[in-house]
């Protein structure tokens, strides 16, 4: 399997090259040259598989030029080592809980897979991963790469602007993970990372790379849990709708990939918060990016989703075809709070603000007889509701993983948002 650039389809790379490169020139996203097809026989056999075995089957066609079967088996066994339960919330509504990994959010899946791929591709050469974070990505990447030999991770975050819990998640690990508190905003952090990665000679000398969410190795493994949900659904259902809390559309487009490989998904709902570029696009075909708006589902505060071009590619840029498979929905903060409380009152199930948008979209759509609605619960409620606890009718205990974390000591360096300082620091660390 080769990967083409969506900016220039003559530009083709192997999986290995695409992973190490991250993006094609001109900010082109990599996309599989053809889509593997799974047939009925595959799905019959797949029912007997464990999650990590299923992951190896689904991912094998994408990586078979660069990994041996043993390697992908080993990688998927490490990556998919936590549960992804499908819980029935109502008669025809299910929650796919993607938050049982180390940082309690779905990004663990992609970050862990990327780290294992990079480790194998980097071999004996030292790599340094730079990541700017406004909170969630930093922790998933830090944990994904924790203790991976020969790879150091530098997490840049705006000092005093991420939650205490989020900061603890990447600043207490130590070893190969270094947290850097930058005196500035998230954008300042991102600029420092871009400057370093754009510094060709220096990037090469220090083996600098990014763990960006559009990296093909973060994107592809996310399609696995759509198969898993389908296979775990009670068999009386004969139609399936997935509702996906969406920001950059990585998660949603990974589901669309599964559908285009033969998985029987009837439709998708892209559920968003007040950042409704995609919901608007799906309604009227006009794509109007804007700067992001702050909401209580902050991991979805995206005004210009960076996987949009992948979404178009599946439908050859035909809006009519695309909008026949994917619907949009958007919710204000007060809508989200309302649905969180209503869901708890009616079912006892505790949503987080991100999953709540997707749950709401299923409640507001018509589910036919025999149709199941599955929403992706992308984060553990404890991770996000502390900030809005006074507006929620329920409490959520901090999972043990997080309680232990709160007692650990942060280790970080502080730095001004200045490229020369950052560069000198990195050179000094090498
Ligand atoms: C990142 C994130 C999202 C959005 O996922 P995309 O792939 O960017 O659309 C939704 N929920 C949570 C909790 C997240 O961390």
Per-residue pLDDT of 384-415, as tens digits, reads 887 889 999 999 988 888 888 888 999 999 99
- Pocket of ligand 1, candidates 245, 296, 297: which has the most ligand atoms within 8 Å of its Cβ, to mutate? 245
User: What pLDDT does residue 32 have?
Assistant: 98
What is the strand order of the sheet 412-416 is part of?
A: 208-210, 127-132, 151-158, 177-183, 412-416
CA 366 from chain centre, in angstroms, equals: 28
User: Which contacts (CB < 8 Å, 24+ apart) does range 67-75 have?
Assistant: 67/120, 71/120, 75/113, 75/116, 75/117, 75/120
Residues in the chain, pLDDT under 50: none
What is the tens place of the pLDDT at every residue in 303-359? Answer: 889 999 999 999 999 999 999 999 999 999 999 999 999 999 999 999 999 999 999
**CB distance 243 to 373 below 8 Å:** yes
Task: Please choose, from the candidates 84, 354, 106, the residue with its C-alpha nearest in 3D space to the C-alpha of residue 231.
Answer: 84
Q: Whose CA is nearest to atom 8 of ligand 1?
A: 248
Classify 263 as helix, strand or coil. coil
Q: DSSP alpha helices (H): ranges in 14-123? A: 15-21, 40-46, 51-63, 69-79, 107-122
Q: Whose CA is nearest to atom 1 of ligand 1?
A: 299
Task: Please choose, from the candidates 358, 349, 373, the residue with its C-alpha nearest in 3D space to the C-alpha of residue 237.
Answer: 373
User: What pLDDT does residue 4 have?
Assistant: 98
User: DSSP states of 350-381 as a string?
Assistant: ---HHHHHHHHHHHHSPPPTTEEEEEEE-B-H
423 membership: H or E segment, kind and range: helix 419-429
Residue found under tokens 């600098």: 208
- Distances 163 to 135, 159, 377, 386 between C-alpha atoms, Å: 7, 10, 21, 10
Q: How many whole angstroms from 91 Cα to the centroid of ligand 1?
A: 26
User: What pLDDT does residue 226 have?
Assistant: 98
User: What pLDDT does residue 244 have?
Assistant: 98
**CB distance 43 to 50 below 8 Å:** no
Q: Give the percent of the chain with pLDDT over 90.
A: 82
* Sign of the dihedral defined by the CA atoms of residues 160, 161, 163, 167, in that order: negative
Q: Which residues line ligand 1 (CB under 6 A)?
A: 105, 107, 136, 245-252, 299-300, 354, 378-379
User: What pLDDT does residue 23 have?
Assistant: 87
- Cβ-proximal residues to 332 (8 Å cutoff; 6+ apart), any chain: 273, 274
**CB distance 365 to 327 below 8 Å:** yes
User: What pLDDT does residue 354 have?
Assistant: 97
User: What pLDDT does residue 387 have?
Assistant: 81
For the CA of 250, the closest atom of ligand 1 is 7
Predicted structure pTM score? 0.95
DSSP class of residue 188 equals H
Q: How far apart are CA 108 and CA 81, in angstroms?
A: 11
């Amino acid at each position: 399997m080769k990967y083409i650039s969506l900016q220039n389809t003559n530009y083709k790379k192997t999986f290995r090259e695409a992973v190490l490169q991250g993006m094609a020139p001109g900010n082109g996203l990599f996309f599989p040259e053809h889509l593997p097809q799974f047939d009925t026989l595959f799905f019959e056999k797949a029912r007997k598989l464990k999650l990590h075995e299923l992951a190896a089957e689904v991912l094998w066609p994408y990586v078979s030029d660069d990994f041996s079967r043993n390697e992908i088996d080993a990688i998927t066994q490490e990556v998919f080592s936590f549960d992804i339960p499908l819980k029935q919330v109502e008669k025809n509504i299910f929650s796919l809980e993607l938050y049982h990994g180390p940082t309690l959010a779905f990004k663990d899946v992609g970050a862990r897979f990327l780290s294992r791929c990079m480790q194998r591709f980097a071999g004996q050469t030292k790599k340094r991963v730079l990541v700017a974070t406004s909170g969630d990505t930093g922790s998933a990447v830090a944990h994904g790469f924790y203790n991976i030999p020969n790879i150091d991770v530098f997490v840049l975050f705006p000092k005093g602007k991420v939650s205490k819990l989020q900061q603890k998640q990447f600043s207490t690990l130590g070893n190969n993970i270094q947290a850097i508190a930058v005196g500035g905003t998230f954008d300042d952090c991102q600029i420092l990372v871009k400057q370093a990665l754009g510094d060709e000679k220096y990037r090469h000398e220090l083996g600098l790379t990014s763990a960006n969410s559009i990296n093909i190795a973060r994107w592809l493994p996310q399609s696995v849990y759509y198969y898993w949900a389908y296979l775990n659904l009670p068999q009386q259902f004969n139609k399936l709708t997935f509702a996906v809390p969406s920001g950059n559309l990585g998660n949603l487009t990974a589901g669309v990939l599964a559908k285009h490989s033969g998985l029987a998904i009837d439709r998708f709902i892209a559920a968003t918060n007040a950042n409704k570029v995609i919901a608007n696009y799906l309604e009227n075909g006009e794509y109007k990016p804007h700067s992001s708006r702050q909401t209580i589902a902050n991991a979805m505060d995206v005004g210009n989703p960076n996987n949009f071009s992948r979404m178009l590619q599946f439908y050859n840029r035909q809006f009519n075809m695309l909008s026949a498979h994917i619907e949009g929905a958007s919710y204000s903060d007060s809508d989200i709070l309302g649905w969180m409380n209503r869901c708890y009152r009616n079912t006892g199930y505790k949503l987080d603000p991100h999953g709540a948008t997707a749950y709401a979209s299923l409640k507001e759509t018509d589910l036919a007889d025999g149709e199941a609605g599955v929403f992706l619960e992308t984060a553990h409620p404890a991770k996000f509701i502390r900030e809005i606890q006074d507006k929620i009718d329920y409490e959520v205990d901090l999972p043990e993983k997080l309680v232990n974390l709160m007692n650990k000591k942060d280790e970080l360096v502080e730095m001004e948002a200045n490229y020369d300082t950052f560069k000198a620091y990195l050179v000094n660390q090498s």
